[in-house]
Amino acid sequence: MPYHWDKKFDKAPATTGAFSRADGDDPLAILRIWPHRSLPRSGFVAFLVITILLLSLPLFGLLGTTALWGLLPFLALAVFGVWKAVERNYADGQLAEVLSLWQDEVELVRSAPHQPDQIWCANPYWVRVQVHETGGPVPGYLTLKGAGREVELGAFLSPEERKELARALQETLQQVPGRLG
């Protein structure tokens, strides 16, 4: 799963009261969500080496001829294009969402490359987790509703992962001290 929970419900909050989040208080739970990385960096190196070998195979018959020098720039351009495309994919994959949960606040921070962070905050008591089977941009569209806004969560996850995440998020919200039902 491309997400990870870090929960700390086993201990009491450092401060008490209706507004218990003070500067420096650790969240009760942190959820980190990221896109799938189907090709790790080590796999990228192997992929690039295999691509170079396969693209250069037809050139072995042209060794020692001037035609080799005519085709070599196109081979280099093709390898460069593949390398740049995969590097761009890695850069775009830096997208991440972090949901922090305190007793009196839920904060969702969406970090995307080349864009400012998007931040949404609400009271966990009023936050509702919704999975829209139809009508959303993707099947199983997962949203959080609260503080007068509805924000999407994990749009880059598969529909099954979004549904599982919705169940886990609902269970975690139920564990917040002071929250009813």
Per residue in 66-80, pLDDT (tens digit) is: 999 999 999 999 999
78 shares its domain with 146? no
pLDDT of res. 134 = 84
104 shares its domain with 170? yes
Whether 138 shows a pLDDT value over 90: the answer reads no
Q: Do the domain assignments include residue 181?
A: no
57 shares its domain with 146? no
pLDDT of res. 178 = 63
104 shares its domain with 153? yes
Q: Do the domain assignments include residue 111?
A: yes
**Structure tokens, 80:** 């460069």
Helix ranges (DSSP H) in the chain: 41-56, 66-92, 159-174
Find out whether 30 and 6 touch, Cβ atoms under 8 Å: yes
Give Cα 113 distance to the centre of its chain: 11
75 shares its domain with 121? no
100 shares its domain with 88? no
117 shares its domain with 161? yes
101 shares its domain with 166? yes
**Structure tokens, 111:** 């970090």
Q: Do the domain assignments include residue 179?
A: no
Q: Which residues pair with 4 in a beta bridge?
A: 32
Q: pLDDT above 90 covers what percent of the chain?
A: 51
Q: Do the domain assignments include residue 161?
A: yes
Domain residues for the domain of 70 are 41-92
How many domains does one find in the chain?
2
62 shares its domain with 129? no
DSSP letter at 130 equals: E
- What CATH number does the domain containing 157 carry? 2.30.29
Q: Do the domain assignments include residue 121?
A: yes
The predicted model gives 127-148 an average pLDDT of 90
Q: Do the domain assignments include residue 180?
A: no
Q: pLDDT above 70 covers what percent of the chain?
A: 88
